[in-house]
Amino acid sequence: MGSVRWFRRDSASLQRPDQEREGLYARCAGPLHRTLLQRTPDTSCSFPRIRLRVRLRGRPRASVPVRPERSVRPRLPAPVAATRGGVNDVEITRPDKVLFPDDGITKSELAEHYRRVARRAVPRLRGRPVMMERHPDGIGGKPLMQKNAPDYFPDWIHTAVLPKEDGEVRHVVCDNADTLVYLAGQACVTLHRWLSREDRPHHPDVLVFDLDPSGKAGFEDVRWSARCVSGVLEEVELPTLLMTTGSRGLHVLAPLDRNADFDAVRDFARRVSALLVQRNPDRLTDEPRKAKRGDRVYLDIQRNAYAQTAVAPYSVRAKPGAPVAVPIGWDELDDPDLTPGRWTVRNLEERLKGADPWARSHVRGRSLRAADRRLRARM
């Protein structure tokens, strides 16, 4: 993937008038290829001299060599999925802009998070339209929920034009790590993915139950609810996956083979929810109105519909601490330290060194038709 480097502005050294200095930023003159890095026996690397291109309010200036103040010995990123069209020059403007004021987390730190998780996140995003949750004024400002890809996005970003009721929408599709980093540079804090892919948008390849505690219900109730949902799905031979949301609850997911359309998938999810509520009326609810949920866990199936979205794996949530939605194994559900926001932008790196609990989740989805027959036999 393309390497991204940020350079702190030093306007005083450029001796520009105030009106020009205001619009100054620096960017790499080109992508930094790994072939430019000379390996040493201890596998570390050294930089060549870096060249910057300086722009003032859109007017290009001559490239000038810049000597770093101190030696930099960077880590090479782990290999990620191949990018469409090769290596791209990803530019991050205003990298020091703080997006999480309580934590001091900047735009560059957000971009580094998405670069770091790309190896695991991209396979779960590839081919899927996404909705961008942008926070140009930080998470304390008004969010921008954006479906349409702006015209100024670079050509190398993959997009998919899909129909809606009154026209069509050109969605971003995150097929590579560079796209994730670019979107972070646009203050996109959270990615919400479709449950279907662009080639068959009306046929989902995953079913999602969003477990949301209401009233006095807590995370222990959510853990118990996750086991209940998984138990019914396993009864009808639908293997399940589990993910923290970075918010209040958990997602229980079941990979599908894309033969059923959204109407069939949603109807199946509704009947699973109804069966669970019938078995556990004091602890579970499928009531969409918050005022009627009481102190129960809400089984939200509303995301199982065309053009609806669910938070993408490894997405950051716009909450203090920058919690991350993280796939977990079912054996981790019993961990007393588990919470919906256990992992954050600043502590996730160590977990990424371990095994991926969803390593083979994308290999083969199951038939909803067969599962539906088994479910009807139990109702």
Q: Is residue 296 part of a domain?
A: yes
Q: What is the pLDDT of residue 243?
A: 98
SS3 11: helix
**Distance between CA 311 and CA 249 in Å, rounded?**
12
Q: Is residue 183 part of a domain?
A: no
Strand 64-66, strand 144-146: pairing: unpaired
Q: Is residue 2 part of a domain?
A: yes
Give the DSSP per-residue string, 225-270: HHHHHHHHHHHTT---EEEE-SSSSEEEEEEB-S-S-HHHHHHHHH
| pTM of the complete model | 0.78
Domain count, the chain: 2
**Residue where a domain stops, chosen among 76, 103, 127:** 76
220: left (phi over 0), alpha (psi -120 to 50) or beta: alpha
**Residue where a domain stops, chosen among 76, 96, 123:** 76
Which H or E run contains 21? helix 18-21
Which CATH number does the domain housing residue 269 bear?
A: 3.90.920.10
Residue 50's DSSP bridge partners are: 66
Q: What is the pLDDT of residue 2?
A: 52
**Distance between CA 227 and CA 231 in Å, rounded?**
6
Can you list the residues of the chain whose pLDDT is less than 70? 1-87, 361-363
Digit-coded pLDDT (tens) for 5-37: 454 444 444 444 444 333 333 333 334 333 333
Which residue carries 């020091």 as its tokens? 96
Q: Is residue 83 part of a domain?
A: no
Amino acid identity of residue 91, one-letter, is E
**Distance between CA 116 and CA 192 in Å, rounded?**
19
**Residue where a domain stops, chosen among 31, 55, 76:** 76
Amino acid identity of residue 324, one-letter, is V
Q: What is the pLDDT of residue 180?
A: 98
Digit-coded pLDDT (tens) for 46-85: 333 333 333 333 434 444 344 444 433 333 333 333 333 3
**Distance between CA 308 and CA 130 in Å, rounded?**
10
Q: Is residue 42 part of a domain?
A: yes
Q: What is the pLDDT of residue 4?
A: 52
Both 222 and 366 in one domain: the answer is yes
Q: Is residue 309 part of a domain?
A: yes
**Distance between CA 86 and CA 175 in Å, rounded?**
12
**Distance between CA 324 and CA 120 in Å, rounded?**
13
Q: What is the pLDDT of residue 91?
A: 87
**Which DSSP category does 204 fall into?**
-
The parent domain of residue 344 ranges over: 206-378
CA angle 341, 347, 350 (to 5 degrees): 120
Which residue carries 């970075």 as its tokens? 246
Both 354 and 213 in one domain: the answer is yes
Strand 129-134, strand 144-146: pairing: antiparallel
326 burial (CB, 10 Å; 0-12 / 13-18 / 19+) is buried
Asked whether 305 and 247 are in contact (CB, 8 A), the reply is no
Q: Is residue 116 part of a domain?
A: no
Both 214 and 354 in one domain: the answer is yes
**Distance between CA 368 and CA 15 in Å, rounded?**
67
Q: Is residue 298 part of a domain?
A: yes
Helices (H), 76-214: 107-125, 177-185
